[in-house]
Amino acid sequence: MSFFTLNHLPTPSLSTRFTTPCFNNYKRTISCSSFKCKREYTSVMIVPTGIGAAIGGFAGDALPVARALSSLVDCLITHPNVLNAAMLYWPMPNALYVEGYALDRFAEGSWALQPVHQNRVGIVLDAGIEEELRIRQLQVADAARASLGLPVVEYIVTDTPLEVEKWIDPKTGKSTGRIKHPDSLLRAVQTLVNRSKVNAIAVVGRFPDDESDDVDEYRQGLGVDLLAGVEAVISHLVVKEFQIPCAHAPAMAPLPLSLSLSPKSAAEEIGYTFLPCVLAGLSKAPQYLVNNSESTEKGCIFASDVDSVILPKDACGGDGTLAFARNGKHKPLIITVEENETVLDDTAYKLGFEALHVSNYWEAIGVIAAHKAGIDPFSLRRNKILSIGCSTSMPVNGHTISREKVIY
C-alpha cells in the first residue's frame, strides 16, 4: 500500500486555466491545452503580384498586415509577394510561404500543403549576371548560412543567359513578361534536384536595368511594380514542373540615390540583392503534395481547412480566389478590402459570388477575430442584425418578412 501527503502533491501552475475542487481545499490544476477544444483557425491572405496594389504592391509593404493576422489566427497561408521585403523579412512560426501557382492548386483542392521543419534550398543564378553582381548573391547565401543557419546547400549557373523581358499588359495594366530561354532554367533546377536533393529553389534572374524615369513613380510609392509580373512567371514555371517551393529575386545594378523615396519602396534600396527574404521564406516553405490518401496520412493542410480569405476588393478574379469562392462544400468567408486598390476591376459582385466587403485591414482583422470566436461579425455593428428570416415568405404580426441573398 502506498501513502502520500499534501507535501508530495505538485505545486499549482501559474498558467492555471481552471480548477476542480479536491480534498482539504487543495485545487488540482487542469490545463486546457491538454484538450482539443476546437480546431485551428486558418486564414489565407492574397495580394496578387504586379497589379499596383496600394498595400502589397511595393517592397514588402503588406508584411505588417500579415504580422497582425498571424498574431490572431492559428495558421496564416500567404505568398512571397506578401512576405518578401528584399533585404528585410519577419519570421512568423504559424505563417506558410506558398508560391502563387501552388496556392491556386491548393485552393482548387488538387494539392495539399505539408509543413516542414526545414528544406534543402538550392540557388539558380542566371548566366547573364555579371561577375561582381553574382558574387554579391553568393555572399548573401553564405551570410544566410552562417548568421541565420539556413540550409542553403548549393548553387548552379544556367548554361545560357535567361534573357528576362518585362512589360505592362496594355489591356489590364498589370506587369508581366517572359524569359527567352526557359529550358535553361529548367535544366539547372533539374540538376540541383538530382545532384543535391534540394526541395526548394531560389532563382536569381538578371533583369534589364531601368532608366531612372521608368521607376520614379514606383520609388515614390505609386504605380505598378515593373518586375513583379515576370517574377511570378518564373516561379510558376518551376513550381508547375517540379512541384516544389520556388521564389525569385531579381539581380540589377543599383539605382542612383534618391532623396525623396517612399517608405513603401525603401526595402529594395538598402542592399545589393533582394535574395535574403527569399532564402528565409523558402527555408521553411511547406512542400506541395498531390491531394490523396497519402497526403491525408501525412498531416497536410487542405483547402477544406481554410476558414477565411482576405484580398483586395477589385482583385477577385484569380484562379485561387474563384476556387475558394465556388467551393460548394467548404466555402470560407471571403473578405474584400476597399482601401487596397489595384489596377484591376474584378470585384466579387461582378464575378457573382458572395463576399463581405470592408473598408480597410483594420476592419478585416476585426471581422476575422469575430469569425474565429464564432460570432456573427454583423452583431458588432449598429443595427446590422435584422429580424430572423424564413426560407419562405410568411406573415409575422401582420407583416411579411423574407430573407434576401445579399452580396456585400
Distance, CA of 305 to CA of 168 (rounded, Å) = 36
In this prediction the pTM is: 0.86
C-alpha cell at 107: 485552393
* Maximum CA extent, the chain: 88
pLDDT at 10: 43
What are the φ and ψ backbone dihedral angles of 75, each rounded to 5 degrees? -140, 130
Cα 347 to the center of its chain, rounded Å: 20
Distance, CA of 248 to CA of 225 (rounded, Å) = 14
Tell me the per-residue pLDDT of 121-164, one tens digit each, with 9 for 90 and over. 999 999 999 999 999 999 999 999 999 999 999 999 999 999 99
Q: Where are the beta strands (DSSP E) in 22-69?
A: 27-30, 42-45
pLDDT at 12 over 70: no
pLDDT at 295 over 60: yes
Residue 364 in domain: no
pLDDT at 257: 86
- For residues 370 and 376, the answer to whether their CB atoms sit within 8 Å is yes
Residue 222 in domain: yes
Residue 257 in domain: yes
Residue 36 in domain: no
C-alpha cell at 363: 476592419
pLDDT at 103 over 50: yes
Residue 363 in domain: no
Residue 354 in domain: no
Distance, CA of 86 to CA of 51 (rounded, Å) = 18
- For residues 81 and 111, the answer to whether their CB atoms sit within 8 Å is no
Q: CA torsion angle for 369, 375, 377, 380 (degrees, to 10)?
A: -100
Q: Number of structural domains, the chain?
A: 1
Tell me the per-residue pLDDT of 190-247, one tens digit each, with 9 for 90 and over. 999 999 999 999 999 999 987 656 688 888 889 999 999 999 999 999 999 999 999 9
Tell me the per-residue pLDDT of 173-188, one tens digit each, with 9 for 90 and over. 999 999 999 999 999 9
For residue 154, CA distances in Å to 78, 98, 118, 197, 216 come to 26, 22, 15, 10, 36
Distance, CA of 245 to CA of 87 (rounded, Å) = 20
- For residues 122 and 202, the answer to whether their CB atoms sit within 8 Å is yes
Residue 231 in domain: yes
Query: What percent of the chain lies above the pLDDT cut of 70?
Result: 85
Q: Which domain holds residue 222?
A: 42-289
Radius of gyration of the chain (CA): 25
Residue reference for cell 548566366: 127
Residue 179 in domain: yes
- For residues 170 and 206, the answer to whether their CB atoms sit within 8 Å is no
Phi-psi label, residue 183: left if phi above 0, alpha if psi -120 to 50, beta otherwise: alpha
b vs e for 86-118, b when ≥16 Cβ sit within 10 Å of the residue's Cβ? bbbbeebeebbbbbbbbbbbbbbeebbbeeeee
In a 3-state reduction of DSSP, which class is residue 192?
Answer: helix
Distance, CA of 366 to CA of 381 (rounded, Å) = 11
